Amino acid sequence: METRRVADILKNGQPEETVIIKGWVRTKRELKGFAFTEVNDGSSLAGLQVVLDNEIPDYDTIIKKVNTGASIEVAGKLVPSQGKGQKIELKANSVIIYGEADLETYPLQKKRHSFEFLRTISHLRSRTNTLGAVFRVRNACATAIHQFFQEKGFMWIHSPIITASDCEGAGELFTVTNLNLNNLPKNDAGEVDYSQDFFGKPAYLTVSGQLQAEVMAMAFQNVYTFGPTFRAENSNTSRHLAEFWMVEPEMAFCDLEGDQNLAEEFLKYIFKYVLETCPEDMEFFNKWINKTVLATADNIINNEFARITYTKAVELLEKADKKFEFPVEWGIDLQSEHERYLAEELFKKPVIVSNYPKEIKAFYMRLDEGEKTVSAMDVLAPNIGEIIGGSQREERLDVLERRIQETGMESDDLWWYLDLRRYGTVPHAGFGLGFERVVQFMTGMTNIRDVIPFPRTPLNAEF
Partner RNA sequence: UCCUCGGUAGCUCAGCGGUAGAGCGGUCGGCUGUUAACCGAUUGGUCGUAGGUUCGAAUCCCACCCGGGGAGCCA
Can you tell me the distance from the alpha carbon of 243 to that of 190, in angstroms, rounded to the nearest whole number?
32
Interface residue with RNA among 333, 345, 371, 413 (CB under 7 A) is: 333
For strands 34-40 and 175-176, give the pairing: unpaired
Interface residue with RNA among 10, 246, 263, 377 (CB under 7 A) is: 246
Residue 111 pairs with which residues in a beta bridge?
Answer: none
> Which C-beta is closer to RNA: that of 31 or that of 189?
31
Interface residue with RNA among 143, 177, 221, 235 (CB under 7 A) is: 235
> Which C-beta is closer to RNA: that of 107 or that of 424?
107
> Does residue 239 belong to the site contacting RNA (CB under 7 A)?
yes
> Does residue 221 belong to the site contacting RNA (CB under 7 A)?
no
Interface residue with RNA among 8, 15, 87, 117 (CB under 7 A) is: 117
> Does residue 104 belong to the site contacting RNA (CB under 7 A)?
yes
> Which C-beta is closer to RNA: that of 131 or that of 425?
131
Interface residue with RNA among 436, 441, 442, 443 (CB under 7 A) is: 436
Instruction: Identify which of 28, 29, 94, 27 has the alpha carbon closest to the alpha carbon of residue 59.
Output: 94
Start-to-end Cα distance in the chain: 36
> Does residue 109 belong to the site contacting RNA (CB under 7 A)?
yes
> Does residue 346 belong to the site contacting RNA (CB under 7 A)?
no
Q: At CA 14, angle to CA 24 and CA 88, rounded to 5?
A: 50
CB of 320 to RNA, least distance (A): 16
> Does residue 288 belong to the site contacting RNA (CB under 7 A)?
no
> Which C-beta is closer to RNA: that of 185 or that of 458?
458
> Does residue 89 belong to the site contacting RNA (CB under 7 A)?
yes
Burial label for 71, CB within 10 Å (0-12, 13-18, 19+), is middle
The upper half-sphere exposure of residue 142, i.e. CA atoms within 13 Å in the direction of its Cβ, equals 15
> Does residue 250 belong to the site contacting RNA (CB under 7 A)?
no
Taking CB under 7 A as the binding criterion, the range among 105-113, 148-156, 175-183, 343-351 that sits at the site for RNA is 105-113
Burial label for 401, CB within 10 Å (0-12, 13-18, 19+), is middle
Q: Which uninterrupted H or E stretch holds 135?
A: helix 129-151
Can you tell me the distance from the alpha carbon of 443 to that of 297, in angstroms, rounded to the nearest whole number?
10
Contact (CB, 8 A) for 23 and 43: no
> Does residue 61 belong to the site contacting RNA (CB under 7 A)?
no
CA 447 → CA 241, 373, 437, distances in Å?
A: 10, 34, 10
Can you tell me the distance from the alpha carbon of 318 to that of 321, in angstroms, rounded to the nearest whole number?
9
**Cβ within 8 Å of residue 331, ≥6 positions away:** 357, 359, 360
> Does residue 451 belong to the site contacting RNA (CB under 7 A)?
no
CB of 2 to RNA, least distance (A): 25
Can you tell me the distance from the alpha carbon of 187 to that of 196, in angstroms, rounded to the nearest whole number?
10
Interface residue with RNA among 40, 130, 206, 208 (CB under 7 A) is: 208
Please give the sequence-ordered ranges of beta strands (E in DSSP) within 12-161, or none if there are none.
Answer: 16-31, 34-40, 48-53, 71-80, 88-99, 155-156
Contact (CB, 8 A) for 376 and 361: yes
> Does residue 196 belong to the site contacting RNA (CB under 7 A)?
no
> Does residue 76 belong to the site contacting RNA (CB under 7 A)?
no
Can you tell me the distance from the alpha carbon of 237 to that of 88, in angstroms, rounded to the nearest whole number?
44
Interface residue with RNA among 73, 233, 315, 344 (CB under 7 A) is: 233
Question: What is the x/- site pattern for RNA, positions 6-45, by CB under 7 A?
Answer: ---------------------x-xxxxxx-x---------
Interface residue with RNA among 142, 164, 170, 289 (CB under 7 A) is: 170
**Cβ within 8 Å of residue 16, ≥6 positions away:** 77, 78
> Does residue 454 belong to the site contacting RNA (CB under 7 A)?
no
Q: Interaction with RNA in 119-138: which residues (CB under 7 A)?
A: 119
Interface residue with RNA among 267, 313, 448, 451 (CB under 7 A) is: 448
> Which C-beta is closer to RNA: that of 53 or that of 276?
53
The contact set with RNA (CB under 7 A) reads 27, 29-34, 36, 49, 51, 67-68, 81-86, 89, 91, 103-104, 107, 109-114, 116-117, 119, 170-171, 208, 231, 233-242, 244, 246, 326, 333, 335-337, 340, 385-389, 432-434, 436-437, 446-449, 459-460
